[in-house]
Structure 1
Amino acid sequence: MQETTSRQRLAGVLILLGLVVQIVGFSGWAATTQAVSYVLWAAVLLLWRDIPRRSRIQAGVLIALGAGMLLVARFVYGAEVDWPAMLQGNVFVVAMLVGVSFITLIGKQGSKGASGSRVTGAGGVLRTWLGVHFLGTILNLSTVLMVGDKLARRGPLKMPQLLALNRGLSSAALWSPFFASMGLVISLVPDVEYAHIALAGFPLAMMAGLFTTLELRRRFDLREVDGYSLAPRSLLMPVGMAALVMLFHFWLTPSLTIVSIITFLLPAVAVLSNLREGPRFTLRRIRQHSLTRLPAMRGEVSLFLAAGLLTLGLSTLVSAAAGSDWTLFTDFGTPQAMISFAAISLSALAGLHPIIGVSVLASILNLEGGEQTLFAFVALSSWAVGTSVGPLSGINLSLQGRYGVSGYRMMTNNLLYAAVLSLLSLGAIAGVSLVVG
């Protein structure tokens, strides 16, 4: 047991080191991406046996496919492959995820959100959705467990509560600049116009919340279903963090992407907020976070790194076999965007994480100008649909492991929601296409 604990702790230290080196690279003093990739992959190797079996199989298949495609491209088609740099895919996204995890060190988010009078009925479901959605824009997946545990104090979670948790978080992928989905698409299409994404994604997310409330009220008796009472002050932190990110993006560090700003800003705010209690207290919290929370991110880290290797392998093979000018679509307009959305969403329903579909599609497209923003919205909307209904998504796996609900039950209960959100997303895709076209 001691050996396993030591291995996990070493992996946590390596993940922290990867974040620090990545932040140093933002200064421009040195190119650090390759070093970061080695450190993060070393952590994955140390944690490999601890990754849940299903996630380990998915990551293993992605790694094998990516490496195999690179070998075929090199030895069958004679392509030039930069082997030392082959592990760099999605390193920026993983570093951002690690940086975002430090937000849990800021105070005790939501600790008082469930206090006060009991909230039940459709209003309780809506408040649960709102709480998870807006806190989740910053805290990501940890919000589901935080809110879910508070609801579980009154008894085992019921299906309406589980669905509100699932949909509240998954729909945040439509617009939150702090989500892994946003980090991925910005790394794939760096010229994306976030304002267009937010203007389309935020109203779409609100419609998802409204539909969830109405549908659950029709399907279930909600009179004895407890909801999460969100205190207004609980929103101060996510709103404040979003404002800080925009301040750095537009004025203080305009040369850095939003992903880069989030990567260094959230850990910095977390450290500064703890320094009020003294340096010793701060170091103790950072140490605890690094040795416990960071190793627990093994599933996310391995999946994103593996998908990055797959993307590199596929794009290299396609370029070598079909020529660098080949692309899946000559133009990426409304019809192509809708086809892509359907393909990614259906693959998620079949059990593939949306990151796989998004990464594969990006590797075989040649996107320019407004096409990048359109692709980004396709990726985000299909991510929101796919993670809500996909039985192997991180949200559903977390609900399954924590509260005992099967992924199949979550999938079947979310099919109507996924269908309605898909129709709304297709309409929004058409609207974004008109704006950026």
Structure 2
Amino acid sequence: MRHAFAGGLILAGLVLQVMRLAGLPVALPVVSVAFWLAVGLLWPDLKRGNRRQATILAGLGVTLLLAAALFHDAEIAWIHLLDGNSYVVAMLVGVSFIGLIGTRQGHAPPPGSALTGRRGTASTWLGVHLLGAILNLSTVFMVGDRLRRHGEMSLPQLLALNRGLSSAALWSPFFASMGVVMTLAPQMNYATILAFGLPLGLAAGTLSLLDLSRRFDLDTVAGYSLSPRSLLMPVAMASLVMLFHYGLTPWLSIVSIITFLLPGVALASNLPRGPRWTLQRVRGHALERLPAMRGEISLFLCAGLLTQGLSAYITAATGSEWQLFEHFAAPQAVASFLAIVASAVVGLHPIIGVSVLASMLELSGDRQTLFAFIALAAWAVGTSVGPLSGINLSLQGRYGVSGTRMMRHNLGYAAALSALVVAGIVLMDAWL
């Protein structure tokens, strides 16, 4: 009953947010309260590590807000206390509905002889990267379960899954990372991010293949057979988002468009089988999939609360005059990127570093684009190497590989990709 009620609240939060986007008089705090109540109900089911991180984030956020109000007489908008990252959570919930389009088998290529060797590993990385750019973490399970049919998962396969998904954060508009960054830097230029992030993502794939080929014998390692049919849905969804963003609803952000578009497409794809069928699938999604998102939802909401607390306290204590950097250019961006990656290695999710950095900066125009780039790059590198990142925790839970082992085997890859990111930061700073 508790899980069902929590799933209903998460679904209600999404519906209320879509109503807001449609112009109906729904206040954002109502959306936020629905999500927070769901987290409260699901709190006992959170993994210990997630619960500890969420508690620390929320506790720090509330402490800083109280300190700003009590010691600096700051006026806190308490009614909006819980609103941090609600937009992102709504987008994450909306993206989850992609699982209602067809079936998992429908996304996979027809059965056949498995690819092996370098070609198979490259196909695994590319499949997870392209499909994951739309389907997010669910792609890892879709591809990983298919690979497991050929035997126990090997370390090269797990590393290909990890790196293929995490590197999509560099450019995909459907990733939670992009949702967070667009909220923190609303003036960022996505075309510039794509121009730098997509080549960097392909470079990450090349680095992965070279590294895995050098360190492992890939001759018998099975790969994922990527087919044109499996790419049809991701390409169609990306095209629809771009159509709405540049044509039909240019006043809405990409985060907002994804929030209503993906659930809408999912419902439309099920309606030909009848309203009852569609209702059953939505009900099943709300009862099973949405409560399973408790880790992501709690982390994003609590990180948003921390960001609000940091911003309020810094503004109150410094009179809006203090900033971490007087000028945000390549040297400052490189230092920020490396600091966030280092925090991920010791166990903090990149969203924490990104949120803390944003609360200490006051950026405008092209500086927001530079900030967005280093935030996305830090997310891509940090989630690949961080032992407590969502992708590594998921691989541990599903396939039994420890996050620490994944971290050790990703350190060299992370260092090489970081060097390319630093070069990209210098080039972008000169470009902007």
Q: CA deviation at 1:32?
A: 2.4
Aligned to 1:220: 216
Q: Does the 8 A contact of 2:90 with 2:259 survive in 1?
A: yes
Structure 1 CA distance, aligned partners of 2:54 and 2:179? 19
Q: CA deviation at 1:215?
A: 1.0
Q: CA deviation at 1:29?
A: 2.6
Aligned to 1:64: 59
Q: CA deviation at 1:114?
A: 6.2
Structure 2 CA distance, aligned partners of 1:259 and 1:111? 24
Q: Quick one: which amino acid aligns to residue 3 of structure 2? A: Q
Q: Check if 1:133 corresponds to 2:153.
A: no
Point out 4+ residue stretches in structure 1 off by more than 4 angstroms: none
Aligned to 1:206: 202
Q: Check if 1:86 corresponds to 2:81.
A: yes
Structure 2 CA distance, aligned partners of 1:231 and 1:286? 28
Give 5+ residue unaligned stretches, structure 2: none
Q: Kindly report which structure 2 residues correspond to 1:315-394, keeping only aligned pairs within 5 A, or say none.
A: 315-394=311-390
Give 5+ residue unaligned stretches, structure 1: 1-5
Deviates more, 1:380-389 or 1:319-328: 319-328
Q: Check if 1:313 corresponds to 2:309.
A: yes
Q: Does the 8 A contact of 1:114 with 1:228 survive in 2?
A: no
Aligned to 1:261: 257
Tell me the percent identity. Answer: 62
Q: Kindly report which structure 2 residues correspond to 1:25-40, keeping only aligned pairs within 5 A, or say none.
A: 25-40=20-35
Q: Check if 1:47 corresponds to 2:18.
A: no
Q: Does the 8 A contact of 1:73 with 1:316 survive in 2?
A: yes
Q: Kindly report which structure 2 residues correspond to 1:13-24, keeping only aligned pairs within 5 A, or say none.
A: 13-24=8-19
Q: CA deviation at 1:403?
A: 0.5
Q: CA deviation at 1:341?
A: 0.3
Structure 1 CA distance, aligned partners of 2:172 and 2:109? 21
Aligned to 1:183: 179
Q: Does the 8 A contact of 1:114 with 1:150 survive in 2?
A: no
Deviates more, 1:211-220 or 1:391-400: 211-220
Q: Quick one: which amino acid aligns to residue 47 of structure 1? A: L
Aligned to 1:402: 398
Q: Check if 1:124 corresponds to 2:120.
A: yes
Q: Does the 8 A contact of 2:16 with 2:26 survive in 1?
A: no
Structure 1 CA distance, aligned partners of 2:103 and 2:276? 19
Deviations 1:168-191 (A, max 9, x none): 000000000000000000011111
* CA root-mean-square deviation: 0.9
Deviations 1:66-111 (A, max 9, x none): 0000111101111111112100000000000000000011112554
Q: Which of the numbers 88, 93, 107 marks the counterpart of 2:102?
A: 107
Structure 2 CA distance, aligned partners of 1:106 and 1:182? 23
Q: Check if 1:10 corresponds to 2:5.
A: yes
Q: Quick one: which amino acid aligns to residue 74 of structure 1? A: A
Deviates more, 1:300-309 or 1:275-284: 275-284
Deviations 1:19-76 (A, max 9, x none): 0000000122324211001110000000000011101100000010000001111011
Q: Quick one: which amino acid aligns to residue 38 of structure 1? A: V
Q: Check if 1:291 corresponds to 2:257.
A: no
TM-score (norm 1): 0.98
Q: How many residues align?
A: 431
Deviates more, 1:363-372 or 1:25-34: 25-34
Q: Does the 8 A contact of 1:114 with 1:230 survive in 2?
A: no
Q: Check if 1:164 corresponds to 2:160.
A: yes
Structure 2 CA distance, aligned partners of 1:115 and 1:369? 50
